[in-house]
Amino acid sequence: MAEQVIIIGGGIIGLSSAFYLQEAGYKVTVIDSTDMQQGCSYGNAGYVCPSHFVPLATPGIVKQGIKWMMNAKSPFYIQPRLNRDLISWGLQFMKSATHAHVERSAVPLRDIALLSKRMYESWAELPDMDFAYEPKGMLEFFKTEESMRHAEETLKEAQHLGLDTSLLNKAELQAMEPHAEIDALGALYFAGDAQLYPNKLMSSLLGWLRQKGVLFEMNQSVTGFITEGDQLKGVKAGERIYAADHVVLAAGVWSGEVARQLNLRLPMVGGRGYSVTFENAPYKLFHSIILSEARVAISPMDGNKIRFGGTMEITSLNAPPRMQRVQGILESVKRYFPAYDIPMPAADKVWYGYRPCSADGLPYIGKTDKYRNLTIATGHSMLGISLGAGTGKLVSELVQNVPASMDITPFRPQRR
Ligand SMILES: Cc1cc2nc3c(=O)[nH]c(=O)nc-3n(C[C@H](O)[C@H](O)[C@H](O)COP(=O)(O)OP(=O)(O)OC[C@H]3O[C@@H](n4cnc5c(N)ncnc54)[C@H](O)[C@@H]3O)c2cc1C
């Protein structure tokens, strides 16, 4: 009889894992605390971006972060709180923010992104799996000389990693986006990046998995486990206990909390970001765009939609949204596109979600020493979509106990 896998969390990581586990012949049940319509895997920018081989924890970010904290509209903010988890995460984050860590992380981040991209390409070929996948490349705009020098460094590193990347001057950049008036010095062009429409990806996946017999238990929070020695025997949610041969923990930013129920430590904080999406808007852009100084993402997608998103706000998971940050995103777009006067939408049209931020910017993917049938897959920070399909593939290999498609030791959950 097929073995039963319980997946905790129905975001992109949980659903990608379900995809490959059902394909490998397991009986799969996904448990999620919500109705799976609005979480972090929906309103994000939808970039599939091997270009992002630099983790969040970088040498400059701490100093820059302190400066940004003084500005309510800035792209990065840590809400000061006397919280033990936040303090310990912060200390580990600072410890990781070194050149050596950035260098060590580049190859694993590139490899999992390329694996993931191949998986998305194969999904895009499947019948009934339409998620507006467009391998159209990404432009990373810069406005200042300092950012240009930084872009030149990134270009060298990207080319060294074998990523198809070029540096465009102002005229070349303008030619790439002929319908917009651009105020920037130039851009990096990452030809190998792709754009997808996350809301469609999630609904397509959900439909596909249902059709393949994957079961969904929505609006049920996992509150505990049945254990026997080094085995998880069951998962408690609501009134029920779900018997399990294998458990996958993919609960996004809440994974740390769930892991604590098993006395496991998974350093994690929520990095809140916001986005607004317009349909049939007058902003005629083609490529996925990052405004590097403003840390804003612009995603033209699914034919008639454009999404503006950004900010990284390390805050408690129930703090009310701060609309000044959304205002900050829209105002910074105008600095690069002077003709764009994007209206501030009503509060109920603003989406926000919490990126599951590990302390060193690398995901946690692997097994733990304590429970041999538990697989952890979380902590993807700002890259959960990009690394999602690949993570699902790796999770299925871990559960099956077969060799992984790539070296996953840098992602081991119990690293210190
Ligand atoms: C503004 C913004 C833009 C972004 N842009 C990009 C991008 O362009 N490319 C990219 O790769 N990434 C991007 N990201 C990051 C990406 O969205 C996340 O990394 C990704 O969605 C995380 O997926 P996940 O499955 O780990 O978590 P989630 O999507 O948060 O899913 C976790 C699920 O677990 C459930 N859950 C929690 N606790 C429990 C429990 N106790 N029991 C049962 N279920 C539980 C939750 O309800 C949730 O549905 C962006 C994020 C933001 C905020």
Write the pLDDT tens digit of every residue in 389-409: 999 999 999 999 999 999 999
Domain map of the chain by residue range? 55-94+135-192+268-358
- Minimum-distance ligand 1 atom for the alpha carbon of 15: 25
Distance 9 CA to ligand 1 centre (A): 9
Taking a C-beta distance cutoff of 8 angstroms, is the pair 56, 49 a contact?
no
* Predicted ipTM beyond 0.95: yes
Say how far apart CA 149 and CA 147 lie, in whole Å: 5
The full length of the chain comes to 416
In short, whether 321's Cβ falls inside 6 Å of ligand 1 is no
Distance 41 CA to ligand 1 centre (A): 4
Residue nearest to atom 51 of ligand 1 (CA): 44
Q: What pLDDT score was predicted for residue 69?
A: 66
In short, whether 33's Cβ falls inside 6 Å of ligand 1 is yes
Averaged pLDDT for residues 198-227: 98
Residues 260-290 have pLDDT tens digits of: 999 999 999 999 999 999 999 999 999 999 9
**Tokens, residue 96:** 């990781």
Q: What pLDDT score was predicted for residue 70?
A: 65
Which residues face 234 on adjacent strands?
226, 243
Q: What pLDDT score was predicted for residue 316?
A: 86
Task: Among 25-34, 89-98, 143-152, 221-230, name the one with the lowest average pLDDT.
Answer: 89-98
**Tokens, residue 88:** 């310990």
> Is the confidence at residue 137, as pLDDT, over 80?
yes
In short, whether 14's Cβ falls inside 6 Å of ligand 1 is yes
- The one-letter amino acid code at 96 reads S
Q: What pLDDT score was predicted for residue 128?
A: 87
Residues 172-187 have pLDDT tens digits of: 999 999 999 999 999 9
Greater model confidence, 362 or 61: 362
- Minimum-distance ligand 1 atom for the alpha carbon of 237: 42
Taking a C-beta distance cutoff of 8 angstroms, is the pair 255, 222 a contact?
no
**Tokens, residue 128:** 């009934």
Q: Which DSSP helix (H) or strand (E) runs through 329?
A: helix 323-336
What are the C-alpha distances in Å from 106 to residues 60, 65, 193, 406?
Answer: 17, 22, 16, 14
In short, whether 10's Cβ falls inside 6 Å of ligand 1 is yes
3-class SS at 390? Answer: helix
- In this structure, is the dihedral angle defined by the CA atoms of residues 104, 106, 107 and 113, taken in order, positive or negative? positive
Say how far apart CA 109 and CA 255 lie, in whole Å: 21
Residues 286-335 have pLDDT tens digits of: 999 999 999 999 999 999 999 999 999 988 888 899 999 999 999 999 99
Kindly indicate the confidence band of residue 253, based on its pLDDT and cuts at 50, 70 and 90: very high
Distance 338 CA to ligand 1 centre (A): 33
Kindly indicate the confidence band of residue 23, based on its pLDDT and cuts at 50, 70 and 90: very high
Kindly indicate the confidence band of residue 144, based on its pLDDT and cuts at 50, 70 and 90: very high
In short, whether 365's Cβ falls inside 6 Å of ligand 1 is no
Taking a C-beta distance cutoff of 8 angstroms, is the pair 69, 322 a contact?
no
> Is the confidence at residue 381, as pLDDT, over 70?
yes
Residues 100-115 have pLDDT tens digits of: 999 999 999 999 999 9
Considering only CA atoms, which of 115, 17, 161, 140 is closest in space to residue 386? 115
Q: What percent of the chain has pLDDT over 70?
A: 98
Q: Which CATH superfamily is domain 55-94+135-192+268-358 in?
A: D-Amino Acid Oxidase, subunit A, domain 2 (3.30.9.10)
> Is the confidence at residue 65, as pLDDT, over 80?
no
